[in-house]
């Protein structure tokens, strides 16, 4: 009952006209980012953080969350109409989605994907409401050693699952941690890796690094004379699925919700894994599995439901334990920290009103996206007709403004350029970028909890093994990192993860 009251209070805050406007703008921008090939959700969310700098914390996070799950909706449009995923978690939708387009059923595919996304997202948000309080209270009992161990598990999972080589994933993770350590050491007050540059005393700007590594490096990897795609939006009447299509989609959406919600809770699992596993589930359990690959609605409804359920479920570890489950959530966590909010159990005690307003806005955002996504498909596809040089120029403007406005200094523009080149080099060397963003955000928290733990134990490292929870968690982390030595094989779906 208390949870329901708090949720209703959250709705009251989220439904002020300002916050509704922020949710609407976030959904709009998120869908555009999802539609645009080349600007993924990680860079997209980071790029738009400056827009929210002067907003109040609730409005700012509401807008960024809306951008985040808006990308999940938007990515579907190009998958279905162009056979090109707007973002990685919609890659599997191209198979049956594009086949449906060739059969003249593009409108139905887009509607079913949007409805599935709505159902998956909404059910996962209900899960967040149910889990928030109990998990948050449990999280308050966690001390520095357990918190450190929990972060070790989260990072280990992401490192183990990202890319094909764990060695390269560890390099990426270590680089992220090192970048996070630049600046004045919070305990001793000594400058670290600042090279005598005053601008680095406060550390490297998180937004400049993310925009550079994820956004600019993507633009730098574009090629000249890339053709502008030819795309035809379905008419209004074509948007309605037939009764049979609805009937066939319902079980696929139910299975997709289960898969996406379950995997969203596990740090390191990306939305792509959820949609891939959902497709695999359809191949095994659907009554119409023989039609998959030839334009089966289950191949669209299942994965699209799964990736949205995943996106919202991935917020549960962030809200309750302060652990980001994916790179995009890590960027969101960075935005929380910039607004003076620390995600985790203390969020519900220190900023309860804001926390519940954000949760309530997730429900509102899902409704807004359902209303915006399908009827405006013509508008979204028109964005794709914008020639690449114009898109590139516009995105570069946002990148420069984004980097500059964090500290109102051109130094951060140089930082963005430098990290753009680093990102390009890492891409060319096949080093995954996801571990870097996670460790970049978690680095300061991880170091602080390590040092607090060692101060509590007066330098005794067995503090991590003598406490049962941290011992178990450290054991799990070591097992994950040592999995290549133990010849533990990654599931096939993870090997095919395009996000990794």
Partner 1 sequence: MTTESVTTKTGSTIRVARGVLAGIGAVAAVGIYVLVSSVSLGLWTSLGPGAGLFPFAMGALLVAMSAIWLLQELRRPSAKGEGVDKGVVISIVASLVILAAVMDLLGFQLSMFAFLLYHLKIRGRRAWVPSLIIALAGSVGAFYAFNYGLNVALPVSAFTPLNLIGL
CA–CA distance, 386 with 393 (Å, rounded to integer): 11
Q: How far is the CB of 473 from partner 1 (least distance, A)?
A: 18
Span from 63-71, 218-226, 259-267, 284-292 in contact with partner 1 (CB under 8 A): 218-226
Instruction: Give the residue with the Cβ less far from partner 1, 280 or 422.
Output: 422
User: Is there binding between residue 244 and partner 1 (CB under 8 A)?
Assistant: no
127 to each of 140, 176, 255, 310, 345, how far by Cα in Å?
A: 20, 31, 16, 11, 16
Instruction: Give the residue with the Cβ less far from partner 1, 185 or 353.
Output: 185
User: Is there binding between residue 390 and partner 1 (CB under 8 A)?
Assistant: yes
CA dihedral 364→366→372→373, nearest 10 degrees, is 180
CA–CA distance, 293 with 182 (Å, rounded to integer): 49
User: Among residues 494, 152, 158, which one has the least CA distance to residue 330?
Assistant: 158
Q: Which helix (H) or strand (E) holds 192?
A: strand 191-192
Q: By rule CB under 8 A, what string of x and - marks binding of each residue 141-160 to partner 1?
A: --------------------
Q: Packing angle between helix 17-35 and helix 41-48, nearest 10 degrees?
A: 140
User: Is there binding between residue 178 and partner 1 (CB under 8 A)?
Assistant: yes
Span from 234-242, 361-369, 374-382, 383-391 in contact with partner 1 (CB under 8 A): 383-391
- Can you spell out the DSSP letters for 352-370? HHHHHHHHHHHHHHHHHHH
Residue 344 CB coordination number (10 Å): 23
DSSP single-letter state for residue 240: P
| Selected binder of partner 1 within 3, 221, 228, 382 (CB under 8 A) | 221
Span from 13-21, 75-83, 366-374, 390-398 in contact with partner 1 (CB under 8 A): 390-398
CA–CA distance, 6 with 2 (Å, rounded to integer): 6
Buried b (16+ CB within 10 A) or exposed e, 23-55: bbbbbbbbbbbbbbbbbbbbbbbbbbbbbbeeb
Q: How far is the CB of 392 from partner 1 (least distance, A)?
A: 7
Residues that bind partner 1 (rule: CB under 8 A) add up to a total of 60
User: Is there binding between residue 168 and partner 1 (CB under 8 A)?
Assistant: yes
Instruction: Give the residue with the Cβ less far from partner 1, 141 or 190.
Output: 190
Instruction: Give the residue with the Cβ less far from partner 1, 9 or 444.
Output: 444
User: Among residues 56, 51, 45, which one has the least CA distance to residue 14?
Assistant: 56
Q: Of 442-481, which residues contact partner 1 (CB under 8 A)?
A: 447, 450-451, 454-455, 458-459
CA dihedral 404→409→412→417, nearest 10 degrees, is 70
Instruction: Give the residue with the Cβ less far from partner 1, 238 or 392.
Output: 392
| Selected binder of partner 1 within 405, 407, 465, 483 (CB under 8 A) | 405
β-strand partners of 28? none
CA–CA distance, 143 with 137 (Å, rounded to integer): 13
Q: Of 414-433, which residues contact partner 1 (CB under 8 A)?
A: 414, 417, 420-421, 424-425, 428-431
| Selected binder of partner 1 within 21, 138, 397, 495 (CB under 8 A) | 397
CA–CA distance, 24 with 35 (Å, rounded to integer): 17
Span from 126-134, 250-258, 269-277, 396-404 in contact with partner 1 (CB under 8 A): 396-404
User: Is there binding between residue 42 and partner 1 (CB under 8 A)?
Assistant: no
Q: Mapping DSSP to helix (H, G, I), strand (E, B) and coil, where does residue 227 land? A: coil
Instruction: Give the residue with the Cβ less far from partner 1, 3 or 428.
Output: 428
β-strand partners of 191? 184
User: Is there binding between residue 48 and partner 1 (CB under 8 A)?
Assistant: no
Q: Are strands 191-192 and 183-184 parallel, antiparallel or unpaired?
A: antiparallel
User: Is there binding between residue 170 and partner 1 (CB under 8 A)?
Assistant: yes
Span from 17-25, 303-311, 404-412, 491-499 in contact with partner 1 (CB under 8 A): 404-412
Q: Which residues bind partner 1 (CB under 8 A)?
A: 50-51, 53-54, 165, 167-168, 170-171, 174-175, 177-178, 181, 185, 187-188, 190, 192-193, 216, 219-224, 387-390, 392-394, 396-397, 400-401, 404-405, 408, 410, 413-414, 417, 420-421, 424-425, 428-431, 447, 450-451, 454-455, 458-459
């Amino acid at each position: 009952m208390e949870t329901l009251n708090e949720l209703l209070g959250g709705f009251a805050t989220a439904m002020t006209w300002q916050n509704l406007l922020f949710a609407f703008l976030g959904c709009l921008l998120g869908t555009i980012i999802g539609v645009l090939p080349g600007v993924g959700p990680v860079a997209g969310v980071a790029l738009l953080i400056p827009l929210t700098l002067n907003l109040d914390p609730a409005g700012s996070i509401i807008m960024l969350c809306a951008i985040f799950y808006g990308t999940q909706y938007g990515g579907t449009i190009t998958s279905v109409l162009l056979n090109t995923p707007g973002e990685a978690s919609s890659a599997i939708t191209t198979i049956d989605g594009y086949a449906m387009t060739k059969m003249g059923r593009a409108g139905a595919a887009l509607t079913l994907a949007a409805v599935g996304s709505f159902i998956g997202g909404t059910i996962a948000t209900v899960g967040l409401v149910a889990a928030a309080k109990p998990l948050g209270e449990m999280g308050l009992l966690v001390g520095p050693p357990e918190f450190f161990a929990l972060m070790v598990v989260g990072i280990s999972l992401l490192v183990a699952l990202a890319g094909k080589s764990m060695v390269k994933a560890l390099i990426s993770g270590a680089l992220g941690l090192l970048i996070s350590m630049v600046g004045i050491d919070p305990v001793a007050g000594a400058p670290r890796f600042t090279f005598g540059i005053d601008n680095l005393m406060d550390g490297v700007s998180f937004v400049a690094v993310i925009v550079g590594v994820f956004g600019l490096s993507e633009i730098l990897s574009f090629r000249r004379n890339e053709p502008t795609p030819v795309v035809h939006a379905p008419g209004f009447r074509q948007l309605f699925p037939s009764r049979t299509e609805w009937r066939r989609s319902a079980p696929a959406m139910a299975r997709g919700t289960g898969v996406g919600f379950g995997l969203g809770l596990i740090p390191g699992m990306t939305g792509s894994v959820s949609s891939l596993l959902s497709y695999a589930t359809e191949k095994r359990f659907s009554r119409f599995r023989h039609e998959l690959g030839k334009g089966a609605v289950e191949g669209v409804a299942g994965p699209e439901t799964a990736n949205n359920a995943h996106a919202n479920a991935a917020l549960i570890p962030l809200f309750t334990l302060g652990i980001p489950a994916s790179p995009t959530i890590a960027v969101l966590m960075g935005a929380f920290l910039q607004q003076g909010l620390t995600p985790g159990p203390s969020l519900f005690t220190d900023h309860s009103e804001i926390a519940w307003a954000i949760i309530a806005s997730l429900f509102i955002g899902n409704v807004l996206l359902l209303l915006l996504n399908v009827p405006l498909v013509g508008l979204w596809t028109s964005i794709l007709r914008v020639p690449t040089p114009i898109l590139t120029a516009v995105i570069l403007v946002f990148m420069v403004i984004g980097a500059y406005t964090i500290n109102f200094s051109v130094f951060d523009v140089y930082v963005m350029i430098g990290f753009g080149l680093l990102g390009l080099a890492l891409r060319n060397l096949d080093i995954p970028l996801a571990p870097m963003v996670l460790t970049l955000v978690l680095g300061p928290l991880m170091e602080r909890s390590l040092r607090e733990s060692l101060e509590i134990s007066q330098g005794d490292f067995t503090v991590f093994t003598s406490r049962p929870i941290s011992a178990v968690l450290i054991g799990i982390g070591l097992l994950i990192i040592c999995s290549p030595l133990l010849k533990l094989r990654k599931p096939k779906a993870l090997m095919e993860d395009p996000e990794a």
